[in-house]
Amino acid sequence: MAQGDSSLQVVDCRQTRRFKTRRLVDATFGACQGTVLDLGEGGFQIEHAGSIKISTSGSIHIKNPDTNEVLSIGSTVVWSRLSSSADGRMLYHTGLRIEEPIEPAAAVFGRLVRACGTPDTDSLERKRQAMIARQQERERAAAGTPNLKTVPSSTPIE
């Protein structure tokens, strides 16, 4: 694959739209407290400090900051990884799949999306860029080329 390969196609497997949160939305999953990064009728992505095992099931509780309503719905952890947060801290980003019908909570979910969500229109492009970066890393590793991070020219090298 050539660097910056624009021919890489990413298939959207989602059955529902996803919304990024445009403001702070608190969430609790078991003993873990965090912040919702994105939400959709199929699941949620949260950012939090403590680790959660993949396949852990429980109820996620998300508080609408406008109405103080709490959306509580059964979910399962499908992925989790340690990531650098916007402020540079290392926090977990975790994907939760909704395991219950959303219909009973649809009105609460709709109010939460209207209050805090904005359509996530660039998620597939972000995924494509991440796939390209992973492929380039594999190609470098196969060629025996180390992954050298760029050092800004103003940074003194010791």
pLDDT at residue 71 greater than cutoff 70: yes
Note whether residue 1 is domain-resident. no
In this predicted structure, the answer to whether residue 60 has a pLDDT above a threshold of 60 is yes
Q: Has residue 32 been placed in a domain?
A: yes
The pLDDT-based confidence of 126 (bands split at 50, 70, 90) is: low
Q: Is residue 105 part of a domain?
A: yes
The span from the CA of 1 to the CA of 23, in Å, is: 38
**What integer pLDDT is reported at residue 49 of this predicted model?**
95
Cα–Cα separations (whole angstroms), residue 85 to 2, 72, 91, 134: 30, 25, 6, 20
Helix, strand, coil in percent for the chain, rounding step 5: 20, 35, 40
Please tell me the pTM assigned to this model.
0.69
Domain count, the chain: 1
In a domain, 52, yes or no: yes
Determine the Cα–Cα distance for residues 48 and 62; give it in Å rounded to an integer. 13
Whole-number mean pLDDT of the chain?
Answer: 82
CATH number at residue 101: 2.40.10.220
Question: Could you tell me how many residues make up the chain?
Answer: 158
> Helix count (H) and strand count (E) of the chain?
2, 8
Q: Are 29 and 58 in contact, with CB atoms under 8 Å apart?
A: yes
Is the pLDDT at 156 greater than 80? The verdict is no
pLDDT of residue 158: 46
pLDDT, tens digit (0-9, with 9 covering 90-100), for 84-113:
877 889 999 999 999 998 888 889 999 999
In a domain, 157, yes or no: no
Half-sphere exposure of 30 (CA within 13 A, CB side): 14
Domain hosting 34: range is 18-141
In this structure, is residue 146 part of a structural domain? Answer: no
pLDDT exceeds 60 at position 14: no
In a domain, 152, yes or no: no
Residue labelled with tokens 């407290």: 33
Instruction: Examine the pLDDT at 153 and tell me if it is beyond 70.
Output: no
